[in-house]
Amino acid sequence: MKKKLNQFYILALIAGVSIFYSFKTNKGEQIPPKDQILIEALRVILEKGHYEPKLINDTFSEAIFDNFIENLDPYKRYFLAPDIAHLKKYYHDIDNQIIRAKFDFYKEATTIFAQRLKESESYYQEILNKKFNYSVKESISLDEKSSEFPINENARKDVWRKHLKFSTINKLNDYLKEEEDKVKDDKNYKSISFDELEKKARNKTLESIKDLFYYENQTPDDDRFAIFLNCITAQFDPHTSYFAPDMKKRFDSSMAGSIEGIGARLSDERGYTKIVELIPGGPAYKQGDLEVGDFIVKVAQGEKDEPTDIVGMRLSDAIELIKGKKGTTVVLTVKKVDNTYKKISIVRDIVEFEDTFVKSSITIKDGKKYGIIHLPKFYIDFSKQKQRNSGIDMRKEIEALKKEGIKGLAIDLRNNGGGSLSTAIDIAGLFIDKGPVVQVKYKDNDPDIREDTDSKIVWDGPLVIMVNELSASASEILAAAMQDYHRAIIIGSKQTYGKGTVQNILPINQYINYSEDLGALKLTIQKFYRINGGSTQLKGVSSDIVMPDRYHYLNIAESELDAPLNWDQIAKANYNPKEYYSNFSQVVIDMQKQINSNPQFNKIDAYAKWLKNNQDNVTYSLNLKNYQEDQDKLNSEAKQYKDILKYNSPYEFSFPSYEKLLVKNDSILRDKRVAWHKNLQEDIYINEAIETLSKLKVVK
């Protein structure tokens, strides 16, 4: 009930904004510009609806200033130091401008940026027309925080020279290595001269920089303004963000794991819409005429419809014309790779991104079968509740594995960034009797205890949950609940990602009477708490059995982001953990000892430290000889770790029975599953999960 009251309070405040603008319109006054309406609505929602609202003051203003400038010019290649000094007059005024719905800082910053962009574009070609001096001793630092803005145009030109030289030297080194290998492999090979390779490298850099300036120049003001708005939302927490209209559509598709369209991934190649991938099993893939590398130049909504020329059109607008409802026909005029033109008719359909969905495999150890389920995300289609979701699919997968006679189950949540909380609760309920799964708290309210209300346990056998540093949000809820109930052994990284906050998507047009689409706000409105009372925020979930991995020392967790919410705890929920296993503690001790003494895991730990050291090193020599020596050293060290994560498993992996018929009739699915099974055989972490399962003894 409190949750509903809280949501009603937010919506009432937003409605107040709508009423305010409607009143002005009724009086005959001019409707405020779109940007003013948008920022006023966001301010009201953020101040009143965010779980932990921030004071919009001078400190807030400073952070927005720094964030927006960094977003516009991260490598400090456009703005001059005097520009930043000039803009500093707004350093403590952006907060006031937000309150007044004014955009003086934004307008002046983007105006200066556009001017500096044009100036920079005027001389990159001049720099790349001449051969670089590769013998001079100099270096470049790509540390965004420590580098300074150039003091004048000559200094900025030198910054560009260094960046262009770095790009060229990188490519040149690759070309020289390729030539060296060709000479070794073929004694009759006529090698290309250094000067020719150097020119080739500069030309390649030239093409890349042309693309960079093309995209910068094509970026519409709406997109720049969305960046500015997200610099504001980012001060509240890392997961509160503004979605421009096209971004909201992409978010909905990613959550659903499907989209209605032709099943092709597209890119913008300087105004041309290019096919970069065909989704296996999708309409375009099945139709067969569209190929990777083709350019779509015209789009018609049916055979008799007048085609729309999309050359030069913004990619997001072109995509809107190409995709459409299931069963409708789109006619594409395509420029093929041989420069011929062809009309291709494709009937749109629902395109499922198969890699989003649950999948399972079976292996045998000591004559006993064990199941492995991979859950890449907690997916759900909010607009079509009866469509497949991860909770329903997980239940089906477990039921199928039970028919196979498995004696243990491992659920792989590695790299699972979360998704739908409701499906995480449903999945937790598959393994426990009814009871609390997670506590969800609005600000200033008592926690809402979300429970599994179904007393049926779908799987009561040995259970292992696999996690790593990138297991986040709903993954952490499931892992934490299984740990608090003593239902599963959590095996993986030292701790998970540490995202213990809940976001709601608020479409702004539902509450603001405005003719144009204003997008949506993803707003942090709640925090997760384990049923034991601790938050998963920052601390994540600690594994019962810790396995070193490559992420161990890298700065990738929630705690490394700007402005994360703090960890705290509340009272624990009323739940009854059971002793599901007679030897839980002993299995944890034995497996940890086994992992600690495993030479491969020791090497993986050394590899993780090496990766961390390279992550911190962002200074590169621009002297070719020194650059090559550095790269040779790096490559030599990398060879030590080349196959460090590969493992020759004693186990073989196979399809569950229900899938055998599917893969027989679907070669694409078969190839994907065969590739996955090969990866499982080379995955030492899967091996340890199976070993753990085989040792667990369930209390009868």
Q: Which residue has the higher pLDDT, 68 or 245?
A: 68
- Residue 267 clears pLDDT 50, i.e. is over it: yes
Q: Is 133 within the bounds of a domain?
A: yes
DSSP 573: P
Final residue of a domain: which of 305, 334, 352? 352
How many domains does one find in the chain? 3
**Which of 95, 484, 544, 683 is an active site residue?**
484
Closest CA to 226 of 405, 368, 71: 71
Query: What is the predicted pLDDT for the residue at 1?
Result: 40
Q: Is 210 within the bounds of a domain?
A: yes
Checking phi first, is residue 347 left (phi over 0); if not, alpha (psi -120 to 50) or beta?
Answer: beta
Q: In terms of domains, do 383 and 331 share one?
A: no
Q: In terms of domains, do 158 and 61 share one?
A: yes
Closest CA to 163 of 143, 141, 146, 131: 141
484 as an active site residue: the answer is yes
- The pLDDT tens digits for 121-176 are 998 999 999 999 999 999 999 888 888 999 999 999 999 999 999 999 999 999 99
Q: In terms of domains, do 528 and 561 share one?
A: yes
Cα torsion 8, 13, 16, 18 to 10°: value is -90
**Which of 471, 473, 543, 621 is an active site residue?**
473
Final residue of a domain: which of 305, 326, 352? 352
CATH of the domain at 270: 2.30.42.10
499 as an active site residue: the answer is yes
Q: In terms of domains, do 570 and 681 share one?
A: yes
Summary mean pLDDT of the chain: 88
First to last CA, the chain: 40
Q: Is 31 within the bounds of a domain?
A: no
Range in 181-190, 257-266, 318-327, 469-478 the model is least confident about = 257-266
Strands 463-467 and 489-492: parallel
Query: What is the predicted pLDDT for the residue at 682?
Result: 93
Q: In terms of domains, do 313 and 390 share one?
A: no
Identify how many contiguous H helices and E strands the chain contains and give both numbers. 22, 22
Query: What is the predicted pLDDT for the residue at 22?
Result: 46
Q: Which residue has the higher pLDDT, 201 or 509?
A: 201
Query: What is the predicted pLDDT for the residue at 25?
Result: 44
Domain that residue 214 falls in: 54-235
Query: What is the predicted pLDDT for the residue at 239?
Result: 93
Q: Is 15 within the bounds of a domain?
A: no
Determine whether 220 is exposed, middle or buried from the number of CB atoms within 10 Å of its CB (0-12, 13-18, 19+).
Answer: exposed
Residue 354's pLDDT band, with cuts at 50, 70 and 90, is: low
Cβ contacts of residue 410 below 8 Å, gap of 6+? 370, 371, 372, 373, 463, 464, 465, 466, 686, 689, 690, 693
Q: In terms of domains, do 367 and 340 share one?
A: no
- The pLDDT tens digits for 283-319 are 887 888 888 888 888 889 988 888 888 887 777 778 8
Q: In terms of domains, do 530 and 455 share one?
A: yes
Q: In terms of domains, do 619 and 541 share one?
A: yes
CA dist 382 to 320, 379, 510, Å? 20, 9, 16
Contact (CB, 8 A) for 451 and 436? yes
Final residue of a domain: which of 184, 202, 235? 235
Q: Is 267 within the bounds of a domain?
A: yes
Query: What is the predicted pLDDT for the residue at 4?
Result: 46
Contact (CB, 8 A) for 477 and 500? no
Mean pLDDT of 591-605: 96
- The pLDDT tens digits for 395-419 are 999 999 999 999 999 999 999 999 8
Query: What is the predicted pLDDT for the residue at 5?
Result: 42
Q: In terms of domains, do 465 and 432 share one?
A: yes
Cβ contacts of residue 219 below 8 Å, gap of 6+? none
Q: In terms of domains, do 617 and 492 share one?
A: yes
Q: Is 222 within the bounds of a domain?
A: yes
Q: In terms of domains, do 537 and 587 share one?
A: yes
Give this prediction's pTM.
0.84
Q: Is 61 within the bounds of a domain?
A: yes
Mean pLDDT of 509-522: 85
**Which of 76, 499, 522, 539 is an active site residue?**
499
Closest CA to 652 of 680, 675, 615, 626: 680
CATH of the domain at 439: 3.90.226.10
Q: In terms of domains, do 102 and 166 share one?
A: yes
Mean pLDDT of 44-62: 93
Query: What is the predicted pLDDT for the residue at 142?
Result: 87
Residue 253's pLDDT band, with cuts at 50, 70 and 90, is: low
Contact (CB, 8 A) for 236 and 562? no
Q: Is 46 within the bounds of a domain?
A: no
Alpha helices in 133-280, H assignment, sequence order? 153-185, 194-218, 221-233, 245-256
Quote the tokens at residue 404.
């196979």
